Amino acid sequence: MTKEYSAFEGLNLNDARMENETREQYKSRLKSNKEILKLYNKVGREQFQLMFPDGIHEAMSKATEKANAESLGEAK
Q: Which sequence spans correspond to the domains of the chain?
A: 1-76
pLDDT at position 38, please? 96
pLDDT at 76 over 70: no
Radius of gyration of the chain (CA): 15
Q: Greatest CA span in the chain, whole angstroms? A: 47
Band of pLDDT at residue 75, cut at 50, 70 and 90: low
Q: What is the pLDDT of residues 61-72, one digit of tens each?
A: 898 888 888 888
pLDDT at 1 over 60: no
Q: What is the pLDDT of residues 3-60, one digit of tens each?
A: 788 889 989 999 999 999 999 999 999 999 999 999 999 999 999 999 999 899 998 8
